[in-house]
């Protein structure tokens, strides 16, 4: 794989706010350690996660930032702001003193970008900012990360963000799973909880995570009740409901609705290490796209995961082989994570019977196919998680051919990025024609490519004008205006032909990251960016033709 900074010795990994994100970084952390023996890895997390991070392997040092203190101080009248400022100054000074030579920040938040500019780490794998406060994304893989999570482009992406993340950090050798340590005393605690539950069934222990980070991503509690009844009454299963204390308003009614001695709730009764232990002794976890899903994968327990509403299985699906991902087929999904939904029809495309079927099947081994009669691919696609020959996670539909117009684009993009960014030797199908022929499904691509070609020509003109002392200001201005207009057009084409939005978004991010102030040098960088766009258009057409 192409690598930007192959050698690292003191690494700062910024992953401040979410435990799930931290877990998804574990293959990267392990990979950095494996490829850079002796490397010291520090992770920067919110203070409340610092304790939990101790059960994540390969981390040498955990630095906690107290966001709540900062917020409380800022909100406080009088000198609260100064308290926050002083805290932050000391925090920055402490981090500076650690003399990091590489930083990986995959949070797109403005504050982490500013923090990294303040710390002043020279080599970066992710987001940072420049001295004017503008966002800087140095590596192509990190730009792909940003491009892929841009809502318009999400459903054209099939690269799991765990892989994009590790590629941003130049990691090639990596475990094909997430990592977490299960503590002995936590395990004992959970075994006792199960023992104390006095289940009357003797079948598999099925864990169910009913809560989710957003209400619209949370399956109907009535479905959970039905699912549990099938599991406990027809399959001799023992069910443990996991969750946080604040999720008890969802979980308690489910327990009450089941009214079964074979259902127990441990919601609010487990710490994160204990939850990991509980999942490790379960045979399978039924869940949405949640933090516990990642923990389950990390402890080696397969998951049946429902990707409802804004959740998208290709993007953040369970990162190990042999997990089941259920993606509803619905025109509005995956929806925008920042928008509410008052009519979450996607919930009803997945039936409790299907989930029960998959959960039982998965307790007996990997599920490689599901009859369409059990799961109609017109309503829901059932995927099995696998790894491809390049070590990237993928999802394979196992209930027939999905009725999904995005699939050919997704396949083409996957190959394009593995080839163009990863440098992998991806087999190319024989292209039928050049781009001049308006292939079906490729409307707009030719226009983008023409713009890219024209952009390179304009850069040549610009360079010659800059180098020529006799050039008039008017002619320079004229070329600049043409370039601005062209760039605007490229961006507009990306919006008009949404399936090529990822190509143009990569172009926009690259343009935002031009470095330096020398006109000739900038023009040279810009020409190369137009060149990238043109080349990617060509490659995309080739891979699309074979998809």
Q: Could you tell me how many residues of this chain bind other proteins (CB under 8 A)?
A: 48
Distance of CA 132 to the CA centre of its chain: 28
Distance of CA 279 to the CA centre of its chain: 22
Residue 341 interacts with other proteins (CB under 8 A): yes or no: yes
Map residues 102-131 to x or -, x wherever contact with other proteins holds by CB under 8 A.
-------xxx--xx-xx------------x
Local structure of 522: helix, strand or coil: helix
Closest CB to other proteins among residues 76, 378: 76
Task: Report, in Å, the least distance between residue 218 CB and other proteins.
Answer: 9
The only residue of 339, 368, 428, 432 in contact with other proteins, by rule CB under 8 A: 339
Residue 389 interacts with other proteins (CB under 8 A): yes or no: no
First-to-final CA distance of the chain: 23
The only residue of 1, 3, 5, 85 in contact with other proteins, by rule CB under 8 A: 85
The only residue of 271, 471, 475, 496 in contact with other proteins, by rule CB under 8 A: 271
Exposure pattern of 200-234 as b/e (b: 16+ CB <10 Å)?
Answer: ebebbbbbbbbbbebebbbbebebbbbbbbbbbee
In contact, 152 and 408? CB cutoff 8 Å: no
**By CB under 8 A, which span of 74-82, 96-104, 317-325, 440-448 interacts with other proteins?**
74-82
Using CA atoms, how far residue 409 sits from 373, 434, 503, 547, in Å, is 28, 18, 12, 8
Task: Report, in Å, the least distance between residue 72 CB and other proteins.
Answer: 5
Task: Report, in Å, the least distance between residue 270 CB and other proteins.
Answer: 9
Residue 96 interacts with other proteins (CB under 8 A): yes or no: no
- Under DSSP, the state recorded for 344 is -
* Residue 490, both tokens: 């490229």
* Residue 73, both tokens: 């101080």
Total Cβ atoms within 10 A of residue 94: 11
The only residue of 37, 77, 195, 517 in contact with other proteins, by rule CB under 8 A: 77
C-alpha span between 268 and 244 (Å, rounded): 5
The only residue of 7, 72, 96, 428 in contact with other proteins, by rule CB under 8 A: 72
Residue 17 interacts with other proteins (CB under 8 A): yes or no: yes
In contact, 208 and 287? CB cutoff 8 Å: yes
In contact, 18 and 310? CB cutoff 8 Å: no
Task: Report, in Å, the least distance between residue 107 CB and other proteins.
Answer: 9
The only residue of 1, 63, 88, 332 in contact with other proteins, by rule CB under 8 A: 88
**By CB under 8 A, which span of 37-45, 71-79, 372-380, 427-435 interacts with other proteins?**
71-79
Task: Report, in Å, the least distance between residue 283 CB and other proteins.
Answer: 26
Residue 470 interacts with other proteins (CB under 8 A): yes or no: no
Total Cβ atoms within 10 A of residue 245: 10
C-alpha span between 254 and 247 (Å, rounded): 11
Would you state the torsion angle of the CA atoms of residues 537, 538, 540, 543, taken in this order, to the nearest 10 degrees? 180
The only residue of 6, 134, 200, 372 in contact with other proteins, by rule CB under 8 A: 134
* Residue 42, both tokens: 């520090």
The only residue of 74, 256, 403, 438 in contact with other proteins, by rule CB under 8 A: 74
* Residue 202, both tokens: 């003797």
In contact, 178 and 541? CB cutoff 8 Å: no
Task: Report, in Å, the least distance between residue 245 CB and other proteins.
Answer: 6
Show contacts with other proteins in window 348-367 (CB under 8 A). Answer: none
Q: Burial of 423 by CB count in 10 Å (0-12 exposed, 13-18 middle, 19+ buried)? A: exposed
Distance of CA 497 to the CA centre of its chain: 24
Closest CB to other proteins among residues 114, 374: 114
The only residue of 6, 57, 60, 79 in contact with other proteins, by rule CB under 8 A: 79
Show contacts with other proteins in window 208-267 (CB under 8 A). Answer: 213-216, 245-246
Show contacts with other proteins in window 173-212 (CB under 8 A). Answer: none
C-alpha span between 451 and 179 (Å, rounded): 45
**By CB under 8 A, which span of 88-96, 203-211, 386-394, 524-532 interacts with other proteins?**
88-96
Task: Report, in Å, the least distance between residue 343 CB and other proteins.
Answer: 12
Q: With CA atoms as reference, report the closest residue to 488 among 511, 467, 462.
A: 511
Task: Report, in Å, the least distance between residue 448 CB and other proteins.
Answer: 27
Local structure of 14: helix, strand or coil: strand
Q: Do the bridges between strand 263-265 and strand 238-242 make them parallel or antiparallel, or are there none, so unpaired?
A: parallel
Task: Report, in Å, the least distance between residue 130 CB and other proteins.
Answer: 9
Closest CB to other proteins among residues 211, 302: 211
Closest CB to other proteins among residues 115, 227: 115
Catalog residues that contact other proteins under the rule CB under 8 A.
17, 51, 66-79, 81-82, 84-85, 88-89, 92, 109-111, 114-115, 117-118, 131-134, 213-216, 245-246, 268-269, 271, 337-341
């Amino acid at each position: 794989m192409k690598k930007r900074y192959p050698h690292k010795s003191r690494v700062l990994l910024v992953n401040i706010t979410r435990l799930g994100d931290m877990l998804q970084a574990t293959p990267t952390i392990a990979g950095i350690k494996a490829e850079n023996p002796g490397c010291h890895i520090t992770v920067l997390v919110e203070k409340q996660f610092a304790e939990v991070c101790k059960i994540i392997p390969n981390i040498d040092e955990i630095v906690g930032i107290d966001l709540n203190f900062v917020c409380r101080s800022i909100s406080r009248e009088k000198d609260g702001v100064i308290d926050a400022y002083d805290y932050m100054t000391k925090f920055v000074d402490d981090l500076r003193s650690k003399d990091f030579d590489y930083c990986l920040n995959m949070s797109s938040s403005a504050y982490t970008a500013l923090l990294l500019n303040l710390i002043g780490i020279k080599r970066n794998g992710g987001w940072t900012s420049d001295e004017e406060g503008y966002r800087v994304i140095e590596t192509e893989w990190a730009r792909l990360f940003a491009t892929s999570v841009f809502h318009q482009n999400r459903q054209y992406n099939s690269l799991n963000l765990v892989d994009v993340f590790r590629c941003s950090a130049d990691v090639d050798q990596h475990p094909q799973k997430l990592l977490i340590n299960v503590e002995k005393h936590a395990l004992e605690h959970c075994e006792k909880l199960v023992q104390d539950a006095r289940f009357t069934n003797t079948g598999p222990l099925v864990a169910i995570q009913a809560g989710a980070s957003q209400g619209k991503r949370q399956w109907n509690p009535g479905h959970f009740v039905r699912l549990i009844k099938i599991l406990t009454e027809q399959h001799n299963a023992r069910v443990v409901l996991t969750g946080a204390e604040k999720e008890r308003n969802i979980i308690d009614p489910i327990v009450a609705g089941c009214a079964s001695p074979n259902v127990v709730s441990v919601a609010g009764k487990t710490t994160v290490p204990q939850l990991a232990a509980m999942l490790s002794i379960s045979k399978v976890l039924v869940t949405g796209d949640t933090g516990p899903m990642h923990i389950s994968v990390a402890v080696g327990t397969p998951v049946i995961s429902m990707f409802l509403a804004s959740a998208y299985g290709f993007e953040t699906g369970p990162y190990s082989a042999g997990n089941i991902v259920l993606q509803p087929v619905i025109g509005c999904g995956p929806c925008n994570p920042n928008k509410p939904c008052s009519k979450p029809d996607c919930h009803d495309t997945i039936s409790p019977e299907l989930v029960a079927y998959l959960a039982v099947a998965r307790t007996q081994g990997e599920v490689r196919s599901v009859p369409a009669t059990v799961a109609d691919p017109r309503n829901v696609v059932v995927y099995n998680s696998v790894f491809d020959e390049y070590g990237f996670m993928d999802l394979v539909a196992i209930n027939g051919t999905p009725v999904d117009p995005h699939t050919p684009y997704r396949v083409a993009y996957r190959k394009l990025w593995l080839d163009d960014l990863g440098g992998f030797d991806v087999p190319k199908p024989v292209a039928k024609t050049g781009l001049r022929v308006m292939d079906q499904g490729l409307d707009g691509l030719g226009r983008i490519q023409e713009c890219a070609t024209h952009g390179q020509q304009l850069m040549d003109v610009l360079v010659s004008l800059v180098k020529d002392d006799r050039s008039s200001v008017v002619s320079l201005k004229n070329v600049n205006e043409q370039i601005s207009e062209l760039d605007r057009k490229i961006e507009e084409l990306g919006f008009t032909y949404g399936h090529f939005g990822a190509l143009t978004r990569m172009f926009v991010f690259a343009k935002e990251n031009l470095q330096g102030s020398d006109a000739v040098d900038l023009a040279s960088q810009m020409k190369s960016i137009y060149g990238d766009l043109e080349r990617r258009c060509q490659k995309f057409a080739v891979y699309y033709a074979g998809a």
